Amino acid sequence: MKLSDAETPRLLLDPDRLQRNIDMMTARCGKLGVILRPHLKTPKSLKVAQMTTPDTSAPITVSTLREADYFAQGGYTGILCAAATTPAKLAHADKIQRETGARVLLVADDADLVNAADARAGEMGAKFEFLIEIDCGEHRSGVQPASQELLNVARALKNASNLQLTGVMTHAGHSYTTNKADEHTAIAENERAAAADSADALRAAGHDCAIVSIGSTPTVLNARHLDGVTEARAGVYLFGDLAQVSLNTRALEDIAVSVLASVIGHNTAGKSLVLDAGALALSKDISANTFMPDAKYGYVCDVETGRHFPGLSVHSAYQEHGVVPVPDECWFERLPIGSQVRVLPNHTCMTCAAYDTYDVVRGGEIVEQWPRVNGW
Amino acid sequence: MKLSDAETPRLLLDPDRLQRNIDMMTARCGKLGVILRPHLKTPKSLKVAQMTTPDTSAPITVSTLREADYFAQGGYTGILCAAATTPAKLAHADKIQRETGARVLLVADDADLVNAADARAGEMGAKFEFLIEIDCGEHRSGVQPASQELLNVARALKNASNLQLTGVMTHAGHSYTTNKADEHTAIAENERAAAADSADALRAAGHDCAIVSIGSTPTVLNARHLDGVTEARAGVYLFGDLAQVSLNTRALEDIAVSVLASVIGHNTAGKSLVLDAGALALSKDISANTFMPDAKYGYVCDVETGRHFPGLSVHSAYQEHGVVPVPDECWFERLPIGSQVRVLPNHTCMTCAAYDTYDVVRGGEIVEQWPRVNGW
């Protein structure tokens, strides 16, 4: 189907840019000497997983059990579910493991949770492997690196009958608070050291720690080295977005997804275009705007070339309307009602979550549709 | 299923509160002497439609053709799609009309669009009815009330072979910029006058104008009278949210939907709880915060009583993590890891859009699941 015949809004995917992003991060992790465990919370798509991780026994990351279920049903067997679990979630994790034979690695940062999870696992006759989450400076979750608390959680796992300690993981989410490469490098070193020092502390206390997992797109791209780390998790690099551009970690030309939208109004008095892509089609996430205030709810681009129309972004996002101020009236001739544009996402994970399908585009045509999984 | 056995996050619906909200607005429109055409972009659910509009020949409003399609397949025959259309969307509107016999009322505010739509309708052998959109002060879209531009669009519709002018519609979205009842009343009067004056101008020029449609929850609740108006559109009143509470148009006790979430972490150093409901489960919409800064990404409430824990809201929303600062450590005992809370939505239309299903709750049990339609 030609783009011009397509009903809007819809989510477009450029497979060549995606492939370049995959190749870039694969090479980067190879150079750093770590396994890439891509975070598939960004694409939530089996087709994308098959591009980034063709070997279904290689490791992947997800953020929900629905994603874990979906990728396990798709053949993946080494799945880290990278948000702390609860006893009530174990039945689902067990079902995935039993039905598919996949190993679902779970996360905990609390000894009481470990004890409760062990009891629940015992009731179900299930076994689970855990990574302990470390706080490397974001102060969202996790135990302090190489701390007594870390050893307490490890001891609880050792004492558990149905659980096993497999390693540690941390995420430098605070890498998103700066757009300076040297600060990304410093945060990457904190992230690396937090994980590696914690692994050392566990081993010194007699625990196994096979997996030492770190990651965020800005830190993996800016780390000097990853000594002591076994694997890196990153996800946003797959598609890129204005937030990554604002952090100087990706370029506009790397962004692999965009929202195809139509002009549905000309506000000649207010000098703005109205698009049929609003808050639901673009999301209300404005992460990029800290360092790139003109990102707004997304850059408005030429539908054919994909190039940003300088100065044009979605300033207001209503449920199904996006408003794009224009500098002069020539834009009303250039973009008549019914014409199409592409909008580059502010934060790709949030924008993509509104869609069940990627429309894969080559040469101005939608050549394939790839499903994605949403919800919980 | 008991709530305590339910995997989180999920979207809960209190059917008694919903019924009260429906009764309230039905009575309100009865008193104002207008037909209620509920805006189903909020619930996007056939079950909710059947509660608010049991007669499937009675009018409803939607904001996308996917919603129109869904409700038409569900038996509804009088559907206003309340965002301006484009020629490329007409094939879908035609398919809905042909397959279901429903009448899909479309919206335009531009004579060129009308001419292009007429040509497209002719190619398809289809007929469409249109409302002309009026700008009553929000300055997002629409022609000026009773203006020459209005008459130009009406003339284009009159000259069209395949289109028919059926009326006018306007939406006072700027009612969301104040939380004062007298200002809501003033904006409601602008909205009413813009629609009624435009209808008068059309009739004076020899056009029919059967439908005169206005609406937003704040204006319908605060209008003194709706003389000259035939119908009111509103949607958020069905579920309510913190944005409506912030505008003093609904109370906390009216909010019929909440997100069931689990505590997945205790950050003792940062004195915060971590929930498994983050930016995807709650949305990043912070509309309520203008007049209610403590709304943040949602109020945290007791899972059983639904009552707000004073001072507790979701301050930070990551993709799958919500962070809730707590004033003191007693909250860690009160809400242990694995325990559940409910989160009241900041903006209900955005929060609900992340879910395919409402879990209908009575007496602490999920007694039914109602599907909803998302996407485009």
Q: Which residue of B has its CA nearest to A272?
A: B140
Q: Beta strand A365-371 with A357-362: parallel, antiparallel or unpaired?
A: antiparallel
Domain count, chain B: 2
Cβ-Cβ contacts under 8 Å, B140 against chain A: 267, 270, 274, 316, 318, 321, 323
CA B114 – CA B158 distance, rounded (Å):
10
For chain B, count helices (H), then strands (E): 12, 18
Residue written as token pair 């607005």: B25
Chain A closest CA to B19's CA: distance in Å?
24
pLDDT at A270: 86
Answer yes or no: do B230 and B274 share one domain.
no
Average pLDDT over residues B191-203: 98
- Other CB atoms closer than 10 Å to residue A227's CB: what's the count? 12
pLDDT digits (tens, 9 = 90+) for B359-373: 999 999 999 999 999
pLDDT at B236: 98
Average pLDDT over residues B134-143: 96
Q: How confident is the model at residue A265 (pLDDT cuts 50, 70, 90)?
A: very high
Answer yes or no: do A181 and A270 share one domain.
no
Residue A277 CB contacts under 8 Å (≥ 6 apart), including other chains:
A8, A9, A259, A261, A298, A314, A322, A343
CA B174 – CA A284 distance, rounded (Å):
19
pLDDT at A126: 98
Answer yes or no: do A202 and A268 share one domain.
no
* CB-based burial, B19-32: b 16+ in 10 Å, e otherwise: eebbeebeebbeeb
Answer whether residue A210 shows pLDDT above 90: yes
Asked if residues A282 and A259 have their Cβ atoms less than 8 Å apart, the reply is yes
Q: How confident is the model at residue A269 (pLDDT cuts 50, 70, 90)?
A: confident
CB contact under 8 A, B6 and A316: no
Q: How confident is the model at residue B269 (pLDDT cuts 50, 70, 90)?
A: confident
- Domain termination site, one of B214, B238, B262: B238
Average pLDDT over residues A237-260: 98
Considering the domain boundaries, does residue B286 fall inside one? yes
- Domain termination site, one of B238, B267, B291: B238
Residue written as token pair 């006072």: B172
CA A205 – CA A215 distance, rounded (Å):
25
Answer whether residue B157 shows pLDDT above 90: yes
CA A327 – CA A110 distance, rounded (Å):
55
The mean pLDDT of chain A is: 97
The predicted complex's ipTM stands at 0.97
CA A300 – CA A312 distance, rounded (Å):
5
Provide the residue range defining the domain that includes A196. 15-238
- 3 state SS for B29-89: HHHHCCEECCECCCCCCHHHHHHHCCCCCCEEEECCHHHHHHHHHCCCCEEEECCCCCHHH
Q: How many CB pairs under 8 A join A and B?
A: 166
Considering the domain boundaries, does residue A243 fall inside one? no
CB contact under 8 A, B375 and A353: no
What type of residue is A175?
S
Phi first, then psi, for residue A153 (nearest 5°) are: -65, -40
pLDDT at A264: 97
CB contact under 8 A, A109 and B270: no
Residue B195 CB contacts under 8 Å (≥ 6 apart), including other chains:
B134, B136, B145, B168, B169, B170, B212, B213, B214, B228, B229
Considering the domain boundaries, does residue A219 fall inside one? yes
CB contact under 8 A, B84 and A323: no
Answer yes or no: do B268 and B209 share one domain.
no
pLDDT digits (tens, 9 = 90+) for B48-88: 999 999 999 999 999 999 999 999 999 999 999 999 999 99
Select the residue of A4, A7, A64 nearest B92 (Cβ to Cβ): A7
CB contact under 8 A, B86 and A276: yes
CA A105 – CA A213 distance, rounded (Å):
12
Answer yes or no: do A31 and A161 share one domain.
yes
Considering the domain boundaries, does residue A244 fall inside one? no
Of chain A, the percentage scoring pLDDT greater than 90 comes to 99
pLDDT digits (tens, 9 = 90+) for A82-105: 999 999 999 999 999 999 999 999
pLDDT at B270: 86
| Distance (Å) of CA B259 to CA A37, A93, B36, B304 | 31, 22, 28, 13
Answer yes or no: do A34 and A169 share one domain.
yes
Q: Which two tokens stand for residue B324?
A: 């809730």
Average pLDDT over residues A30-34: 98
Considering the domain boundaries, does residue A134 fall inside one? yes
Answer yes or no: do A131 and A199 share one domain.
yes
* CA nearest to B108, candidates B123, B98, B93, B96: B93
CA B322 – CA B305 distance, rounded (Å):
21
Considering the domain boundaries, does residue A245 fall inside one? no
Answer whether residue A332 shows pLDDT above 90: yes
Answer yes or no: do A259 and A230 share one domain.
no
Answer yes or no: do A68 and A115 share one domain.
yes
CB contact under 8 A, B286 and A281: no
Chain A closest CA to B233's CA: distance in Å?
15
Q: How confident is the model at residue A233 (pLDDT cuts 50, 70, 90)?
A: very high
- Domain termination site, one of B203, B238, B273: B238
Considering the domain boundaries, does residue B244 fall inside one? no
Average pLDDT over residues A164-177: 97
Sequence length of chain A is 376
Answer yes or no: do B164 and B281 share one domain.
no
CB contact under 8 A, A266 and B110: yes
| Distance (Å) of CA B241 to CA B68, B251, B299 | 24, 9, 10
Q: Which two tokens stand for residue A330?
A: 């020539």
Residue written as token pair 């819809």: A10
CA B116 – CA B329 distance, rounded (Å):
64
CATH number assigned to the domain comprising residue A306:
2.40.37.20
Answer whether residue B264 shows pLDDT above 90: yes
* CB-based burial, B262-279: b 16+ in 10 Å, e otherwise: bbbbbbeebebbbbbbbb
Chain B closest CA to A29's CA: distance in Å?
24
Q: What is the DSSP letter of A74?
A: T
pLDDT at A331: 97
Considering the domain boundaries, does residue A376 fall inside one? no
Answer yes or no: do A113 and A152 share one domain.
yes
CATH number assigned to the domain comprising residue A152:
3.20.20.10
Cβ-Cβ contacts under 8 Å, A276 against chain B: 83, 86
Q: Is the pTM of this model over 0.95?
A: yes
Select the residue of A86, A285, A376 nearest B10 (Cβ to Cβ): A376
Asked if residues A292 and A246 have their Cβ atoms less than 8 Å apart, the reply is yes
CB contact under 8 A, B321 and A140: yes
Answer yes or no: do B7 and B23 share one domain.
no
Of chain B, the percentage scoring pLDDT greater than 70 comes to 100
